[in-house]
Amino acid sequence: MGHHHEKHIAVILAAGKGTRFRSKKPKVVHKILGKPMIHYVSLAVRWSNPDRMIYVVGHEKQQVIKAINCLNCVYVEQEEQLGTGHAVAVTKTYWENFDGIVLIVNGDLPLVEGETLKNAVKYMEALMKFEGAPAEGGQDFRNEDVAGVVITTKVPNPLGYGRVIKDKNHKIIKIVEEKDATYQEQQIDEINTGIYLFYAPYLKQVIDRLENNNAQKEYYLTDVIELLNQMGKDVYALMVPDYTQFIGVNDRWDLAKAENILRMKYLQFWSYAGATFHNPETVYIEFDVELSPDVEIFQGVSLKGKTSVGEDTVIEENCSVINSKIGKNVKILKGSIIEDSVIEDNSVIGPYARIRNNSVIKENAQIGNFVEVKNSVIGENTSAKHLAYLGDAQIGKDVNIGAGTITCNYDGFKKHKTVIKDKAFIGSDTMLVAPVTIGEEAITGSGSVITKDIPDKALGIERSQLKIIENYADKRRKKDG
């Protein structure tokens, strides 16, 4: 059979409905740490460096193709879900003339490591080779007995998994499903992970000979092994000890368990990269989040989307940061929510602040408790420390925003902009009725409703005259008495 090309094609099975999810969405698009489950399977498969990736899609295929988001991949539709053997059979045209390995992976194994798949391909390649003798010019010849490898693992409780029956040379005799296993076979704790490697020319010879005479009326890929054995070909077990990699996600509780394992892996990764976590069990961190060294994160923090956190930043308890860029040495105090925004170096946010909709908080600014900032730029060294709403505002540097300040940005029809220039002083409880501009070093008197622009260095004050009535209490007492 001549020279061996070190090549493989990957087939990923992603056609299932996932009935136990009780969902309108197909199983593999359900998210783990902010990414569809299939994303993690794809990453692992890609790590094994296949020549081509083929996805078998079926139920709600457009959603699945969108979630996979791969332009140079091949998508093959399995119109009826008739089992794993049938799913592989529908891809046959893509590998029937291929002289190499077909790697088959179930799309519901989000914890499988790329390294595991890479090693399995190497293992199969090694089994397939006879080292050529120098007299023959040192060419490698293929060991024609080797037909495949199944990744197996040992689990504490094998209930529900297909058991691997093998001989003493690690060759698999057969894989039996739980329902079809005898009492003796059920005692075996080595199980099938749902990851297979087959030599394409041999797989081609047996894939169409599968039958569906079983309880499920499905074509099982595992039956390929017995058919290959009948041809006198060998399928080997590659036992991988870390069984958590092979948790199959069949329902939402499996999804939660898988997400937890992956989350702890990521937290451990960022911890080794220099981040400190207090009570990491309670910290939620998504796939795209990036943390710098010397970041400190307290319990109940949730970091989502494309969020990055700069060095020496502290995020206190129960904060939520979504799709935001946090600079260096920032303090985000308890209970704050930051979404789609940028927080620059040395700022202090919170406690209980809310920043959203493309806001930018510049260096050394302070946004205090119960302040909401929406679609606004807050300049350097500016502080809004208490109870304010700043929406659609452009605020300069060294500005003081008094407690209770509100930008009245909406007139019932349209949103309008408020501009506050450098070094302005906004007195407490000022209503700024947009569109309005407050000049440099201008001042608003507390309790004012500002409806006109205030020039630089001017005072804008709008309130009725204070009236003082002397001895009012005595008069009132007489009246009441």
Give the residue numbers marked as catalytic.
386
What would the DSSP string read from start to end of 358-385? Answer: S-EE-TT-EEEEEEEEES-EE-TT-EEE
What does R_g of the chain's alpha carbons equal in angstroms? 33
d(CA 319, CA 354): 10
The secondary structure of residue 357, as a DSSP letter, is S
To the nearest 10 degrees (0 to 180), the angle between helices 37-47 and 252-272 is 50
For residues 239 and 190, the answer to whether their CB atoms sit within 8 Å is yes
DSSP 8-state symbol, 410: B
Distance CA 332, CA 327 (A): 11
Q: Cα angle vertex 79, ends 74, 82, to 5°?
A: 110
DSSP annotation of 156 reads: S
CA distance 379 to 373: 13
The CB density around residue 158, as the number of other CB atoms within 10 Å, is: 20
313, 330 contact by CB (below 8 A): yes
What is the dihedral angle through the alpha carbons of 83, 87, 92, 95, rounded to the nearest 10 degrees? -120
The rounded distance, in Å, linking the Cα atoms of 349 and 353 is 6
Give strand pairing partners of 358: none
The structure tokens 């060419």 sit at 139
Q: Could you give the CA distance from residue 411 to residue 27 in angstroms, rounded to a whole number?
A: 46
Assign 13 to helix, strand or coil: strand
Is residue 223 classed as helix, strand or coil in its secondary structure? helix
